[in-house]
Structure 1
Amino acid sequence: MIFTLTMNPSLDRYLYVDDLILDDTIRVKKVEEYAAGKGIDVSRVIREMGGTSVAICPLGGDNGIKIEFLLDNERVLYSAVRIKKETRMNIIVQSLKGQYRMSLPGASLTRFEYELIMDMIKAVPRSGDTLIASGSLPEGLLPSAYFEIVKLCKDMGLRVYVDTDSENLKEAVKASPFGIKPNIYELSRLIGKDLKKDEVGEAVKEISEKYGITDVLVTLGKDGAIAYVDKKLYKMEPIEVEVKSSVGAGDSFLAGFVHKRDNSIEDALKLAMACGSASVMNEGTTLCKKKDVKKLLKEVVIERIS
C-alpha cells in the first residue's frame, strides 16, 4: 500500500480573465478550485494508473472542507487530520498575457497538531508499506520535522521517499530515507554547488553512498532524468512532446516510479518517464492521463550507464 504525506496543502483558486487593467472592473470568465499539494498530486497519479493510495494531510476551516469535497469528487482517498486554523489558499490569475500567482499567508501548525499527524502515521500504514513525504512545511515547524518523519517511518518498517527542497531535504537525508526525488536545482542545493547535467551521475552516487539512500531519482526537465537505484546508474532520454504546463511533472514521475517499484527497476523507470512526460502535455493543473502514458511508454529510452 502506498501513502502520501502533504504537510502543507493548499486550496488553489484559479481566476481566468482576458487582461488585468488598472483601476477598471475586471470580469472573471471562469473560476476553478484545486486541492493542491505535491503528495496529493502523487496520490492522484497513482489512482490514474490503477493503483491505490491514501493521501494524509492536515486540513482546517472552510478551505479544508473544500479540499475534502474536491478530493471526494476525484475519488482520491485521503486521511485528514483536522486542525484549528484555516488551510492556506493560493490565488492564481490567468490572463491572456500570462499568469499571476498570489500566495496568501498560511496558518502555523501547533506542536499538538504535528503530534496528531505523527499519530496518524503510526496508526494507518503498516510495516512493508510505502510513504511518500512531499512538499514544504507549514509555519511553526522546523526543517528537523522531516528528519523526525523519516525516522518514524523507518522505525515502523515503512519504505519512505522524500520530495522536498533546501533545508527540509538536508534534514530528511540525515535520516536515510529509502528514496529521494529532487530535480537538478534541488540536488544542487543539497550538494552545495551548481551542477551541470554531466555531473549529476557522480552526484547521485555521492548522495546515495553518503546517506545510505537506495533510490536517488533526479528529473532534468527537457533533458530527461537520471536515476541511481540499487547501486546502478540509469539515464532516461527525454520524450518529445508539446509542453503546455510543467505543473506536477515531478510528482507524476515519482508516482509512476513508486507504483511499479516492486515489479522491476526498468518497468518503474519507464513508467516514471512516461508519467512525467504525459503530465506536461496538459494545461493548468491537469496531470498525466492513462491513455497518454500508455502511448508514451513505447517511446521511453533507458540506458544503464554503470
Structure 2
Amino acid sequence: MSNSIITVTLNPAIDKTITLDQIYLGGLNRVNQLPHIDPGGKGINVAKVLQEFGSNVAATGFIAGDLGEKLENQINLLGIKSDFVRVSGGEVRTNMKIVDLSTNQVTEVNEPGFAVTDKASVSLQDKLTSLLDEASFLILSGSLPDGVATDIYQQYTDLANQKGVRVILDADSMPFRLGIEAKPYAIKPNLFELEQYIGRKLTTTEDIIAAGNYILEKEVQLICISLGEDGAIFLTNEEGYHIKPKTITPKSAVGAGDSMVASLAYGHLQQFLLVDLAKWSTAAGTITATKDGTTVCTLDEVKHMYPTMQALKLY
C-alpha cells in the first residue's frame, strides 16, 4: 500500500464565480471583472488542495459531455492525475457563485447535473476496486447525481475497509447517514449537517461534543465539525479540541471545507498529533475562505498561518 490518496467526485461541476459590487434583485447586474471559471465539485477541490501540498493524489468519479472533457483537461493541467468514468448522455453541470461585495455574501445556483447509467456505476465500482489496491485514503465527498444509489458512499466505504484503506466522508442527508454505518475513519460535517444527523439543534459546545461522541460510538475514529468563523471542533475517543482562527475577511466559502478534508488525510500521513492536525486543517479552511472563486490554500500559506491557531482542549 502506498501513500496515495483517491478522491471521488460523483457530481462534478464547472464552477463559475461572478463578483458584483452589489446585487440588484430583479434588476440589471453588470459584471466589471472577468468571472473565475474553475473545475469544481467537492472531491476535485480536495484533490486541488492535496496537489498544492505535494501529496500523491488521483481524482475519479463521473463526467459527461463536452464540459466533462473540458473539466478533466483543466484538472490535468493542474498536475492532478485523473481517471474518470464517462457517462453517455447529459452534461457536467455549471455551478454559479455570485459574490456580493457589499455584504460579503455568496449566493450559489447549482445545476442538477447528468444522470448516471447502471453501466457507468459498475465501471466506477470496478475502477475503484483497482485504484484502492495502491491507496492509503479514499475521500468521499459531495452530492449524488441522478441514477446513483443513496447508499453509494456506504458501498464504497465497505469496499475500502476490506482493503485496509481509510475513508474520509464529507456528505449530507441520507448518503451521510448511511455512510457512517459503514464505519469510515473520519467525517467532516458542518454544524447544520451534524444537527440534521442528530435531529435537533446543537446550541452549545457541550451539545456538539455529545453529538460527536454518539457518532464515535459507531466506530468512526475522528470527527471534524466545521463552525464557520468560529473555527472547528475535532473529536476522537481520547481527546477533543476547539480550534479558533484569527479574524479574516472572507471572500468565498467554496472549497473551505474541502481544504479541511484534504488536511485530515495529509496530516495523518504526516503523522501529526491531533492538536496539530486540527490547527493545520482549520488554517487550511480559513485561508481558502479568503480566496476568490474556488482558489484553494497553498502549503506555504498554511505553514504561515498554522502557528496563529488557538487550540482549546475540550477533554
TM-score calculated relative to the size of structure 2: 0.88
Counterpart in the other structure of 1:273: 282
Structure-to-structure mapping, 1:42-121, within 5 angstroms:
42-85=46-89, 86-92=91-97, 101-121=108-128
In the alignment, structure 2 segments of 5+ residues that lack a partner are: none
Aligned equivalent of 1:141, options 138, 141, 148: 148
Counterpart in the other structure of 1:291: 300
Q: Which amino acid aligns with 1:82?
A: R
Query: How far has the Cα of 1:157 moved from its partner?
Result: 1.6
Query: How far has the Cα of 1:126 moved from its partner?
Result: 2.0
Question: Are the counterparts in 1 of residues 15 and 294 from structure 2 also a CA contact under 8 Å?
Answer: no
Counterpart in the other structure of 1:303: 312
Counterpart in the other structure of 2:12: 9
Q: Secondary structure at the match of 1:268?
A: helix
Query: How far has the Cα of 1:99 moved from its partner?
Result: 5.6
Query: How far has the Cα of 1:279 moved from its partner?
Result: 1.1
Residue by residue over 1:168-196, the C-alpha shift from the partner in whole angstroms, topping out at 9 and shown as x without a partner, is 11110111111111011111111111111
| Higher normalized contact order (CA 8 Å, seq sep 6+, divided by chain length) | 2
Aligned equivalent of 1:150, options 154, 157, 168: 157
Q: Separation in 1 of the partners of 2:263 and 2:70? A: 27
Counterpart in the other structure of 2:208: 200
Residue by residue over 1:242-298, the C-alpha shift from the partner in whole angstroms, topping out at 9 and shown as x without a partner, is 222211111111211210114122332221121111111212221113332122111
Task: Indicate how the Cα distance of structure 1 residues 221 and 96 shifts in structure 2: closer, same or farther if over 3 A, else same.
Answer: closer
Q: Separation in 2 of the partners of 1:184 and 1:35? A: 26
Query: How far has the Cα of 1:233 moved from its partner?
Result: 1.7
Q: Secondary structure at the match of 2:293?
A: coil
Q: RMSD of the alignment, in Å?
A: 2.4
| 2:178 counterpart of 1:171 | yes
Q: Which amino acid aligns with 1:13?
A: K
Query: How far has the Cα of 1:225 moved from its partner?
Result: 1.1
Q: Which amino acid aligns with 1:157?
A: G
Q: Separation in 2 of the partners of 1:55 and 1:195? A: 34
Q: Which amino acid aligns with 1:60?
A: A
Q: Secondary structure at the match of 2:132?
A: coil
Q: Separation in 1 of the partners of 2:138 and 2:150? A: 18
Q: Separation in 1 of the partners of 2:29 and 2:184? A: 51
Q: Which amino acid aligns with 2:216?
A: S
Query: How far has the Cα of 1:50 moved from its partner?
Result: 2.0
Question: Are the counterparts in 2 of residues 180 and 215 from structure 1 also a CA contact under 8 Å?
Answer: yes
Task: Indicate how the Cα distance of structure 1 residues 28 and 21 shifts in structure 2: closer, same or farther if over 3 A, else same.
Answer: farther
Q: Separation in 2 of the partners of 1:161 and 1:67? A: 24
Q: Which amino acid aligns with 1:45?
A: V
Question: Are the counterparts in 2 of residues 134 and 163 from structure 1 also a CA contact under 8 Å?
Answer: yes
Q: Which amino acid aligns with 1:38?
A: K
Counterpart in the other structure of 1:40: 44
Counterpart in the other structure of 1:212: 219
Task: Indicate how the Cα distance of structure 1 residues 114 and 301 shifts in structure 2: closer, same or farther if over 3 A, else same.
Answer: same
Query: How far has the Cα of 1:24 moved from its partner?
Result: 7.1
Query: How far has the Cα of 1:68 moved from its partner?
Result: 1.3
Question: Are the counterparts in 2 of residues 224 and 239 from structure 1 also a CA contact under 8 Å?
Answer: no
> Once structures 1 and 2 are overlaid, which stretch shifts more, 259-268 or 116-125?
259-268
Q: Separation in 2 of the partners of 1:95 and 1:280? A: 15
Aligned residue-pair number: 305
Q: Separation in 1 of the partners of 2:227 and 2:294? A: 20
Task: Indicate how the Cα distance of structure 1 residues 28 and 100 shifts in structure 2: closer, same or farther if over 3 A, else same.
Answer: farther
Question: Are the counterparts in 2 of residues 11 and 67 from structure 1 also a CA contact under 8 Å?
Answer: yes
Query: How far has the Cα of 1:15 moved from its partner?
Result: 4.9
TM-score calculated relative to the size of structure 1: 0.91
Question: Are the counterparts in 1 of residues 213 and 237 from structure 2 also a CA contact under 8 Å?
Answer: no
Counterpart in the other structure of 1:255: 262
Q: Secondary structure at the match of 1:200?
A: helix
Query: How far has the Cα of 1:238 moved from its partner?
Result: 2.7
Query: How far has the Cα of 1:60 moved from its partner?
Result: 1.4
In the alignment, structure 1 segments of 5+ residues that lack a partner are: none
Q: Secondary structure at the match of 2:95?
A: strand
Q: Which amino acid aligns with 2:190?
A: N
